Structure 1
Amino acid sequence: MKFYRKLFFPFVPVYYSVTWLRNKLYDLGIKKSVSFDFPVICVGNLSVGGTGKTPMIEYLIELLKEDYSIATLSRGYKRKTKGFQLADLTATSETIGDEPFQFFSKFKDKIQVAVDSDRVNGINRLKSLKKSPEVILLDDAFQHRKIKAGLNILLTTYNALFIDDYVLPAGNLRESRNGYKRANIIVITKCPKNLDETEKNTIIKRINPLDYQKVFFSNIEYSSFVKSNVNEKSLVELNEFTLVTGIANAQPLVDFLKSKHLKFEHLNFQDHYDFSESDIDELCKKDLILTTEKDFMRLQSFPSLKDKLFYLPITVSISESDKFNALVKKFVTSKM
């Protein structure tokens, strides 16, 4: 933990008490949660920052899209619109947010993508459509207790397990560690590829999953090709470039690129960073820019970067994926 975070420990009981009381009111039924008679899957976390929710949503889309009509529902963080928005060909990262626009860009012919800060209203609006989805994937809604999802998938990163963290503002947890009890599936994300069974078992014992919970491990797979809107090239073909990131934790990507012995400078911005005109002017001076797919959703809107902007695709690999896939599909079929 960073030293300055320790200064905030006196405020931890206040934050803890507020979030504990809120959850208790929902647990006791004093505050009402809405459940649905069709498959609603929530992907979320206990902490702020990147745990890999976007690639997990995309994994679920790939898993289910051939057999069911799918919709994603997100808050649409930092979008410049209000209320319910259903993505169409006019959608941009400004109208629906970075991650939803990424879903729409990749799967627009296969799924529906919607945003609404009121998830209950968002689900009802989706189900009222003439072509209503059979399965709804909730992106980052684990703390949205107004909805009781049928299947909760909780993500926690290998290097920052929720069991080792504290609530805000001293730590990164949005609520008490005990919130993990609402999960049906817990996925340890961003694991090293060589994680052995002994360490996996140690982590599982420390988490101490309940009888109804299953724990899985996943890692990020980086593509061997980088892509633009019109072109792609082999990653190893890149000579010198500028890496531009506006995500919660860019270190795994940096480590991967260094492992390939690539030469690059790294311009690191805060998560969901709004690039200014002066930022773009500086980026225009670069010969080649590599970024994440999420950042690409925003940066591609600047015509001056069009010929030099590429992103590195990523996917999720889940150990014992057959068991994970079977659990998800069993839930979906049970609700159909």
Structure 2
Amino acid sequence: MLLLRFFSLIYGLFSEFKNILFNYNILKSKNFNKTLICVGNLSTGGTGKTSFVDHLINMLSKDHKIGIISRGYKRKSKGFHFVDDIDTNKYGDEVCMLKSKYPFLIIAVDINRQRGINKLIDKNVELIIMDDGFQNRWVKADIQFILTTFKNPFFNDYLLPFGRLREKKKNFKRSDYIIITKCDLSLDNKKRKYFSNHLGNKPTYFCQTKYLDLTHIRTKKKFNICSKTEILLVTAIADNTELFNDLAKISRKVHTYSKTDHYSFTKTEVDEIIKIFNKIDTTDKIIVTTEKDRVKLMNFIRFIGEYPFYVQKIALDFHENDNFEKNILEHVRETSKNKELS
């Protein structure tokens, strides 16, 4: 324990030194002539960034030609690539999920965000969303979101490796907005005050995960779970607790097959999933996976396509009194207008 705290101290010194260099313009952040939105967090994952990016796309794509830049976490390729097809090994699972939902999007992966953003601008995009870019100080975002979960907010956490923070808690002040994800259904003033005591006057929005239709992985046919249904939940995400609990409320029993976040399924694991499913002793049973895991499992569609394999669609539901969409659209319009005039 003491050793982990020591390494956290060393990690924090290096992290803060880098931030100081940028804060005093010794190292320079690059501005761009298009509106750049950054979605990030202070912790190492599991806050729901991809779902939030999905939400922003739904909000903004009606009025803007959007580009997405991501490093393509856990991809096996290197350098810059436009995401032209659904290849999770080449691009990563998150961007492939977005491309499968929004084929019209111009999506790029590049660990060098400056280069990636310039190539998106060459494609005449009007607005760029940078996924997981809060720690990338080489790029100057116009609007910065950081996400944290309701049950495990970053201000109760510690620096790596003792905790899960990538940088010091105080650096949330660089953001424009805080998004509290995975909130309880009941959100009273006492709970809001708890967050405001830690976040001060920083604009903060609360949202919960809304579970939509279950659709078959191949046919897209919908399925309604009943109290007699048993479910095999197959996931490779940072935290499947919320989904597990939601399914457990409406089904007889939930079995799980879990892998680490971004794990790439192989034929061996697909065979294991089918074997476990066949052992569930009821005829009223289905397999459920996430939208992010779907794009990886589609590589084995000829093996699983005839099974009752369903995808759980989700959306974010913001507290109705927060006026999230109205305020963000106004901020984006004003920023884009200023970019055009400058």
**TM norm. shorter chain > 0.5:** yes
Check conservation: 2:34, 2:121, Cα contact below 8 A.
no
Equivalent position of 1:79 in the other structure: 75
Counting aligned pairs with the same residue, the percent is 35
Per the alignment, residue 315 of structure 2 pairs with 315
Q: CA deviation at 1:155?
A: 0.4
Hey, what does 1:141 align to over in structure 2?
Answer: 133
Whether 1:18 and 2:8 are equivalent positions in the alignment is no
2:264 maps to 1:274: yes
Q: Deviations over 1:210-259 (max 9, x none)?
A: xxx31111100011433423222223158223111111111111111111
The aligned runs of 1:286-297 (5 Å cut-off) are 286-287=277-278, 288-297=286-295
- Show the counterpart of 1:34: 30
Query: What are the ranges of 5 or more consecutive residues in structure 2 without an aligned counterpart?
Result: 279-285, 338-342
| 1:220 counterpart residue number | 209
Please tell me whether the aligned partners of residues 214 and 310 of structure 2 are also in contact (alpha carbons under 8 angstroms).
Answer: no
Deviates more, 1:92-101 or 1:17-26: 92-101
More moved, 226-235 vs 173-182: 226-235
DSSP-derived class of the 1:289 partner: strand
Q: Does 1:175 align with 2:167?
A: yes
| Distance in structure 2 (CA, Å) of the matches to 1:121 and 1:272 | 25
Look up the SS of the partner of 1:188 in the other structure: strand
Name the SS of the counterpart of 1:25 in structure 2.
Answer: helix
Which of 203, 207, 216 pairs up with 2:195? 203
* Counterpart residue type for residue 220 of structure 2: N
- Between the aligned partners of 2:37 and 2:159, the Cα distance in structure 1 is 25
Does the C-alpha gap of structure 1 residues 297 and 262 become closer, same or farther in structure 2, counting only changes over 3 Å? farther
**Counterpart of 2:323 in 1: which secondary structure?**
helix
Does structure 1 residue 103 correspond to structure 2 residue 98?
Answer: yes
Q: Deviations over 1:110-163 (max 9, x none)?
A: x2111111111000011112xx21010111111111111000011010111111
| CA distance in structure 2 between the aligned counterparts of 1:112 and 1:15, rounded to whole angstroms | 36
Structure 1 equivalent of residue 88 of structure 2: 93
Gaps of 5+ in 1: none
**Does structure 1 residue 304 correspond to structure 2 residue 298?**
no
Matched, 1:241 2:236: no
The structure 1 segments of at least 4 consecutive aligned residues displaced by more than 6 Å after TM superposition are: none
Corresponding pairs, count: 325
Post-superposition CA distance 1:148-190 (Å, at most 9, x none): 1000011010111111000000000000001101110101110
Residues 227 and 312 of structure 1 are in contact (CA less than 8 Å); yes or no, is this contact kept in structure 2? no
2:327 corresponds to which residue?
Answer: 327
The separation in 1 between residues aligned to 2:33 and 2:221, in whole angstroms, is 43
Decide whether the 8 Å contact of 2:236 with 2:263 is kept in 1: yes
- Aligned match of 2:255: 265
